[in-house]
Structure 1
């Protein structure tokens, strides 16, 4: 077999397929990572195996296992592919500018991201920012964004995750309403009008859990007005309509401005909100710039 014969089967697509299969442990997982069909992954791997004249994977009923040659090839190809992608991205946007899309909740966009955008734009005027707002995590990784800050942990091998901030909740109310509440007694909030967030897909920390956390017995549901949009819950609290559970990263500025007041202790749930990006796909200079800035300014 000549060098030319081998090169005919060695393509960027085939090498990416091999690396993705090794990292995901299956052709199905590799297809999800690459955003192509499973048959396309299988064909790319088979073509490379034919060109090399050696098996790269052992096919099993419950998945695949790389051969010694396959594992070695993936180990050397992965960093080379990342470097190549980074070089192409840098060549396309040599000054670090360009566009970047981030997907966040409406409330986080309004009360954390947007107030900080002037500072970001002053430091990075060449970066065009596109913000997608959502109040579910159903589109994470599939909505065309470059970065995501979801509503909670996301277990997806196709996404890389770094901590954005810990989940901390504070009961909050408009100052006029807060003045009438005994903040030293968690049970006193049962006598206050409570505002509830109804999460449609993933259970969130809610009022019954908050009361139980503080040793207050509640039977079944807790009365109060409800909305499936947290931004509406927050606006109701600002208007004095009731007490809401405030995620600290969202209500911190409102507390500092005196528009809301804390009416109970902070609860740390042990959960962390992540900042997500696609696994195996180097970020563009613009996306890397935004990611670095977010982590430097994250609530922690």
Structure 2
């Protein structure tokens, strides 16, 4: 049986679509369709049921994918790792948001370096990292959105608590308890620091805690939460930040938490892989290590 046909089949099975598989493989959709038909003729059984949106594997299609995918993934790992690497060393390509990956995931995974793991990290939004994972550019992706479809599978990694903070000067202007007694209107005069013009963190916090939308636009926009924290410490205004990121600044009095809601807003991180690749030991080991480390993250 032609390995190229099996590779196309596994890609279609994971993608759930001939069109999506064609994009991942760098082929035309007719070429993918033709290869699947050739494989179906060789096997004498249909592998997919065509639907209005995508395809659904038949029972034999699922069975073939389960048997073939781990071996194909192993072959891809061999060809992509090259022969010049030190024996036993496996490179893990990790993608995720810059702050969380830098401060949480990478420090945890570096403990695997003495056990034969090399690391390559890249940063991006959930859409960018999951897209890169689907295209085969990454082995593991950390994202704040659960991927859809059969191509990727995801496991909840951890939740992060969001805190509404401001610089000391702005907090003193508001006074203790002002937000609790007056509501979010008291914050309309305070400049907002965010990672994007759309105010993703502030908007989620306002909706969850105040059941409304923020009235102000961003005064400072920086696409890294560490830069947002630095701006708030310097007196730029208020921001919504993950507690793990601003905990030290809170303890040292560099920023002030403006509110302690009974149910603080949370955001879930997911650890995503391409379906079937957990059969590769270095990916499985890294996923397991991150899940163990996340049990201690708060």
- Quickly name the TM-score band, shorter chain normalised: 0.7 to 0.9
Q: SS where residue 201 of structure 2 aligns? A: coil
Counterpart of 1:158 in structure 2 is: 151
Structure 1 or 2: larger helix share? 2
Counterpart of 2:275 in structure 1 is: 279
Match of 1:112 among 101, 104, 113: 104
Mean Cα deviation higher: 93-102 or 225-234: 93-102
Structure with greater Cα Rg: 1
Are 1:102 and 1:132, in contact at CA under 8 Å, matched by a contact in 2?
Answer: yes
In structure 2, do the counterparts of structure 1 residues 293 and 258 end up closer, same or farther at CA, with 3 Å as the change threshold?
Answer: farther
Write the deviation string for residues 134-158 of structure 1: whole angstroms up to 9, x where unpaired: 3563353227222222344443543
- Separation in 2, partners of 1:64, 1:121: 40
Q: Does 1:149 align with 2:137?
A: no
Counterpart of 2:123 in structure 1 is: 133
Q: SS where residue 158 of structure 2 aligns? A: strand
Q: SS where residue 168 of structure 1 aligns? A: strand
Counterpart of 1:75 in structure 2 is: 62
Q: TM-score, normalised by structure 1?
A: 0.72
Counterpart of 1:238 in structure 2 is: 233
Are 1:172 and 1:260, in contact at CA under 8 Å, matched by a contact in 2?
Answer: yes
In structure 2, do the counterparts of structure 1 residues 15 and 178 end up closer, same or farther at CA, with 3 Å as the change threshold?
Answer: same
Are 1:102 and 1:145, in contact at CA under 8 Å, matched by a contact in 2?
Answer: yes
Are 1:96 and 1:285, in contact at CA under 8 Å, matched by a contact in 2?
Answer: no
Q: Does 1:102 align with 2:99?
A: no
Counterpart of 1:124 in structure 2 is: 113
Q: Does 1:14 align with 2:5?
A: yes
Return 5+ residue gaps in structure 1 as ranges: 1-9
Counterpart of 2:187 in structure 1 is: 190
Q: SS where residue 156 of structure 2 aligns? A: strand
| Alpha-carbon offset, residue 230 of structure 1 | 3.3
Write the deviation string for residues 82-105 of structure 1: whole angstroms up to 9, x where unpaired: 442465559979986321121222
The number of residue pairs the alignment matches comes to 281
Q: What pairs with 1:24-43 in structure 2 (closer than 5 Å)?
A: 24-31=15-22, 36-43=27-34
In structure 2, do the counterparts of structure 1 residues 251 and 289 end up closer, same or farther at CA, with 3 Å as the change threshold?
Answer: farther
- Separation in 2, partners of 1:194, 1:106: 24
Are 1:101 and 1:131, in contact at CA under 8 Å, matched by a contact in 2?
Answer: yes
Counterpart of 1:169 in structure 2 is: 162
- Separation in 1, partners of 2:145, 2:55: 31
Q: Does 1:227 align with 2:221?
A: yes
Q: TM-score, normalised by structure 2?
A: 0.72
In structure 2, do the counterparts of structure 1 residues 271 and 194 end up closer, same or farther at CA, with 3 Å as the change threshold?
Answer: same
- Separation in 2, partners of 1:199, 1:211: 16
Q: CA RMSD in A?
A: 3.9
Return 5+ residue gaps in structure 2 as ranges: none
- Separation in 2, partners of 1:113, 1:247: 15
| Alpha-carbon offset, residue 29 of structure 1 | 4.1
